Amino acid sequence: MDPTSPFPRLTGTADASVRPALPEDAAEIARIQVVTWRTAYRAVLPAAVLDEWDAEAAETSWRRAVTAPPTPGHGVLVALERNTVVGFAAYEPPELPGGERPDPAGPTSELSTLLVEPRWGRRGHGSRLLAAVADLAHGSGAARLQTWLLEEDRVSAGFYESAGWAPDGWARTLETGGAPLREIRWHALLDTTADEGAP
């Protein structure tokens, strides 16, 4: 445990680690979110979403997610390079699409967001965040993790595939005010993820 922090490190080393987000992380989480979206999704997301970003509203929303999660199954983690927040992940109970029944293998947790600021990429921060979310979900009794990825997001698909995830056959279309966006759902069994260390 880091004696200067009220929370234990969930995973990592002295130079790179993951911990639960604190209220004072909210502004940096919001900044990382828009920087990453503008870098990675400029060609996909509507310009209005990126150019009319309300930083204050985003910070307020993330602070609320950290301080007053709607259920015990909601949470936010941050990745650190030494003491600098370089990425984050948020997880929550999933909403089942119409016609889907609960997984017979057991409860599912949904990774709603996992972003690492591009300048801190390829240092293992995304893998550590994914491993920490998997450990927390598994510890809470979940048997499966899932996430929704933009169909055009080949980089993220490659990352999850390398960690043992795969599409599960579900897709959805998001209306954004511009061209509709199609998302594919990916999943992983948590027993396998935990055993393999969620790279």
* Total domains, the chain: 1
CA distance 34 to 32: 6
CA-CA distances (angstroms) from residue 22 to 29, 68, 92? 10, 11, 17
Task: CATH number of the domain at 52, please.
Answer: 3.40.630.30
Write down the pLDDT at residue 10. 63
Residue 178 domain-assigned (yes or no): yes
Residue 5 domain-assigned (yes or no): no
CA distance 197 to 199: 6
Residue 185 domain-assigned (yes or no): yes
Please give the radius of gyration of the chain, using alpha carbons only, rounded to the nearest integer: 16
Contact indicator for 25, 18 with CB cutoff of 8 Å: no
Write down the pLDDT at residue 103. 76
Residue 2 domain-assigned (yes or no): no
pLDDT tens, position by position, for the chain (199 residues)?
333 333 445 665 668 999 999 999 999 999 999 999 888 877 777 777 677 788 899 999 999 999 999 999 999 999 999 999 999 999 999 987 777 777 777 799 999 999 999 999 889 999 999 999 999 999 999 999 999 999 999 999 999 999 999 999 999 998 766 778 899 999 999 974 444 443 3
Contact indicator for 137, 107 with CB cutoff of 8 Å: no
Residue 3 domain-assigned (yes or no): no
Residue 6 domain-assigned (yes or no): no
pTM of the model: 0.85
Write down the pLDDT at residue 9. 56
Write down the pLDDT at residue 22. 98
Which range of residues forms the domain containing residue 82?
11-196
Q: Indicate the angle between helix axes 26-40 and 55-67, nearest 10 degrees.
A: 120
Write down the pLDDT at residue 194. 41
Residue 1 domain-assigned (yes or no): no
